[in-house]
Structure 1
Amino acid sequence: MRSPTLHDVARSAGVSYSTADRVLNGRGGVAEKSALRVRHAIEALGYVRDIHAANLSRRRSYRFRFFLPRGDHGFFSVLRETLEREAGARAAERLDVTCRDVPALDAKALAEELSRIEAGDCDCAAVVGADSPYLTAAIARLRSIGVPVVTLVSDTADEVRSLYVGINNRMAGRTAGRLMRMAHRARAGRILIVLGSLSARDHRDRLEGAREIMQAPGSKLDLLPPIEVRDRPETMRERLGEALRQDSGITGLYSIGAGNRALVGLFEGLEGPRPFAVLHELTPLSRAALEGDLIDAVIDQKPAEEIARALDAMRAIADGRPPPPTDIVPTIYLKDNLPGAGRGGNLPGTGRGAICPAPAGRRLGQAT
């Protein structure tokens, strides 16, 4: 059975197609009696507007802006590449996507970038959240001028942002804690947690989730004070290196954020057994470390799915429709279940070489 069309609505209401179209699009110029008949016909027939077809007929483009952290973080390089690929694949949907680099874990700098957006500049913006009054105020200002904001990876300002797209970071932290307990099999252990910054909600939520499991009754794991490295490899090298030199009894390490190039380098130079190690995000670096037995597990938030869901949600918000589900269940990768293993071993979408971030302000998949 076919779906009712606007022609069916017009026929049922006893008005012309153009009159039904004016009522549907709120353009006015229709007598209230006729408008009421059109609305009743829409409800009686169960007519649902085809937003995609309407946008094509009006040749509407969706203007989306993404603001992603730069720095030594392979995950955001993967995220940029995925965004470029997905935007290009959706050219028929008339997506005009721009991606700008912002400093990692610098909410004030991100807020300054958002302050440059004016009403009508774009249909929706996507940012990686961080808890900061500067960022909350910037998102609130955008909302007040009709520019909705979606948060990715890490949530923030949930009272003013429109939607969060990503994994449950507390659940991810609990997963890491469970892996640590399984690795120690009720043995005593000393666990060191390394994070970027407690100002990042995803880092803080992962830390709290890991603590919930590793400090639960029956656990024999001793949690050392966490160290912050600001997602910088040089800081990771200095602070983690010092921790490993000072405490040879560390049996487990959970790295919540980035800077892991230095972590892998430190593990390569260790004499004797290394700690059981859990990292986040499957990147060329973490994949090679898994394959080389330098780390043990990676919790990945599936960037391809994250970008696809973000774009779907941003379109829905721009169209005034309820957004689709945006929760993502992370994947646990071990050396034995890496994607593409035995078929060249490439991380899907990354190619064989190093991943280069898109230049600041680069437009991705521009509509034609």
Structure 2
Amino acid sequence: MRVLYAADRCVIDQESIKKPSKTDSVAHRFLVKDIAFQAGLSTATVDRVLNDRSGVRHQTISRVQAAIAELEKQQIGAEVSGRKLAIDVVMETPERFSTAVRDAFEAEVATFLPTVFRCRFHFAEVMKQAELVQLIDRIRLRGTNGIVLKAPDVPEVVAAVARATEAGLPVVTLVTDLPNSSRSAYAGADNRAAGETAAYLIGAHFGGAPGRVLVTLSSARFRGEEEREIGFRRVLRERYPLIGVTEISEGHGTDAATGTLAVQAIAADPAIDAVYSIGGGNRAVLAAFEAAQRPVRVFVAHDLDADNRALLAARKIGFVLHHDLRTDARSAFRAVMGRSVRGGSAPSALSSVEIVTPYNMPATG
């Protein structure tokens, strides 16, 4: 039986349940009586769940799943209790987002005591491909317990990840995945679903009327941004065919470069009247509209960083698609811990996407 983590929920791989074997207790590492004690159920009931027998309530199955998840957490915690694990966080991203990631990782460290995580951050707003590859290789050779990586999905980076995993290091991709690499796990949101949500919000706002959306990407090299755009375009095409798309890319999320691209796009197309900001640089995009004296009917952005909090509070943007970076940090820590004590691949974990408006913006911290 395999236990899969999705954010803080535990679900059991149903395919593996449907094919029980005499080695089940070995496969999930826990005795039936231990699971029963943790769940507050009888051993007979737990046995029925583990062997997928009929007549078991959904709530009972959920209790067994939660019990296994807690035992798994306790086991990992016991195996690494008191250990110090170094993690290198490598990101090519704008400073406003790297600051939010640093805050999330540093806040989450305290929840794993007595295991101590020491995070070493390697951030750059723009990083040459060769520099990024050299950095990953240098970290591998210097020594670390794991690498958390936000990087472009290009062959050179995939090869660097392979060298790290072949050396026994877990590599966890953060917010943008490298699905064709040997990475150990992905920690982040379902980016395609996030793009679909953005299309729904914008389409509903237009109410069947025609419009044109400026879609901003930091770079087409990031798989996560590509997935968001794919989901966005699909929903517009199927449900809101009167809404068109103008795309700008390679501004790297910085205000200067993104602003220049936005000015050019707005000047070239007078029909643009909405924004889906995948890659950031939102202050500069808004400034471009203001300079052209063009209104923005609806603006959907990603990530509740300091800039977007201020813009949302000022009603400059309408919606922020937010996922909890602390959940991502927690998933990354768990993946590294699990790999450190037992080897093998860790399952990916998806954090949920929340639609934030000026009226439900969560407090900082």
**TM-score relative to the length of structure 1:** 0.74
Structure 1: how far apart are the matches of 2:30 and 2:328?
A: 35
Q: Which residue of 1 aligns with 2:312?
A: 290
Q: Pick from 34, 55, 61: which aligns with 2:80? A: 55
- In structure 2, relative to structure 1, the CA distance for the partners of 1:44 and 1:69 (3 Å cut) is closer
Structure of greater Rg? 1
2: CA distance between counterparts of 1:99 and 1:227?
26
- In structure 2, what is the equivalent of residue 82 of structure 1? 104
AA at the equivalent of 2:300: V
Query: 1:50 and 1:244, CA in 2 relative to 1: closer, same or farther beyond 3 A?
Result: closer
State how many pairs are aligned. Answer: 299
User: 1:101, CA displacement in angstroms?
Assistant: 1.9
Matched, 1:161 2:186: no
Query: Is the counterpart of residue 64 in structure 1 residue 87 in structure 2?
Result: yes
C-alpha deviation, 1:163, in angstroms: 0.7
Question: What displacement does 1:183 show?
Answer: 0.8
Residues 185-241 of structure 1, C-alpha deviations (whole Å, 9 max, x = no match)? 000111221111111101111111110011115521122344442222111111101
Question: CA deviation digits over 1:35-87, x for unaligned, max 9?
Answer: xxxx9xx987878894433434xx5322222112353x422211111112222
Which runs of at least 4 in structure 1 moved beyond 4 Å after TM superposition?
Answer: 42-49, 267-270, 321-325
Note the alpha carbon deviations across 1:287-322, whole angstroms, 9 max, x for none. Answer: 111121211111112112111221122211212277
1:21-170 correspondence to structure 2 within 5 Å: 50-56=75-81, 59-71=82-94, 73-104=95-126, 106-118=128-140, 121-170=143-192
Aligned to 1:259: 281
Q: Distance in 1 between matches of 2:114 and 2:195?
A: 39
Q: Are 1:331 and 2:349 counterparts?
A: no
2:216/2:247 contact within 8 Å kept: no
CA separation of 1:337/1:43 partners in 2, compared to 1, >3 Å: closer, same or farther?
A: closer
Structure 1 stretch displaced more, 118-127 or 289-298: 118-127
Q: Which structure ranks higher in relative contact order (CA pairs < 8 Å, sequence separation ≥ 6)?
A: 1
Opposite residue 164 of structure 1, the aligned amino acid is Y
- Runs of at least 5 residues in structure 2 that lack an aligned partner in the other structure: 1-25, 35-70
Q: Distance in 1 between matches of 2:161 and 2:122?
A: 17
Matched letter for residue 52 of structure 1: G
Equivalent pairs: percent with the same residue?
Answer: 25
Q: Which has the higher helix share?
A: 2
Distance 1:297 1:107 in 2: 33
Equivalent pair of 2:93/2:253 in contact (CA under 8 Å): no
Q: What secondary structure, in the 3-state scheme, does the structure 2 residue paired with 1:64 have?
A: strand
Which residue pairs with 2:261 in the alignment? Answer: 239
2:288 and 2:267 mapped to 1: Cα distance? 11
| One-letter amino acid matched to 1:284 | A
2:241 and 2:155 map into 1 onto residues whose CA distance is 38
Q: Say yes or no: does 1:176 pair with 2:198.
A: yes
AA matched with 2:78:
A
Query: Structure 2 counterpart of 1:81, which letter?
Result: D
The residue identity in structure 2 corresponding to 1:64 is I
Pair 1:250 & 2:272 matched: yes
- Structure 1: which 5+ residue stretches go unaligned? 1-38, 341-347, 350-368
The letter for the 2-side match of 1:206 is: R
Is the 1:124–1:149 contact (alpha carbons within 8 Å) kept by the matching residues of 2?
yes
Distance 1:97 1:227, change over 3 A: closer
SS in 2 for 1:179: helix
Alpha-carbon deviation of 1:107? 3.9
**1: CA distance, partners of 2:281 / 2:348:** 31
Matches of 1:81 and 1:53, distance apart in 2: 26
Q: What does 1:288-327 correspond to in 2, within 5 Å?
A: 288-320=310-342, 323=346, 326-327=349-350
Conserved 8 A contact 2:162-2:182: yes
Post-superposition offset of 1:266: 3.1
CA distance in 2, matches of 1:106, 1:236: 18
What is the CA–CA distance in structure 2 between the aligned matches of 1:225 and 1:122, rounded to whole Å?
Answer: 39
